[in-house]
Amino acid sequence: MSENANVVDITAANFESDVLERSFQVPVVLDFWAEWCGPCKTLGPLLEAEAEKRGGAFVLAKLDTEANPELAGAFQIQSIPTVMVLKDGRPIDGFQGAIGAKELADFLDKHATAIAPAGLEEANALVAEGKLEEAMELLDQRFEELAGDGSATLLRTRLLLDMGEHAEAREFYDALEDEFQQSEEGRAIRARLDLAEKAKDLGGVDELQASFDADPSSAHRFALAQAQLADGQHAAGLEHLLELVKTDRAFDDDAARKLMLETFEALGSEDEVANDYRYQLQMVLFV
Give catalytic residues, as residue numbers. 37, 40
Could you tell me how far CA 82 lies from the centroid of its own chain? 32
Q: How far is CA 1 from CA 10, 30, 86, 246, in A?
A: 10, 15, 21, 69
Q: How far, in Å, CA of 69 to CA of 208, rounded?
A: 77
3-state helix, strand, coil in the chain (%, to 5): 60, 10, 30
State phi, psi for 31 to the nearest 5 degrees.
Answer: -105, 110
On the 0-12 / 13-18 / 19+ scale of CB atoms within 10 A, 160 is: buried
Question: 89: closest CA among 41, 155, 19?
Answer: 19
Report strand pairing: 7-9 vs 28-33. unpaired
The residues, ordered by sequence, that sit 6+ positions from 264 with a Cβ below 8 Å of its Cβ are 274, 277, 278
Q: How far is CA 154 from CA 46, 92, 171, 173, 185, in A?
A: 33, 31, 11, 7, 8
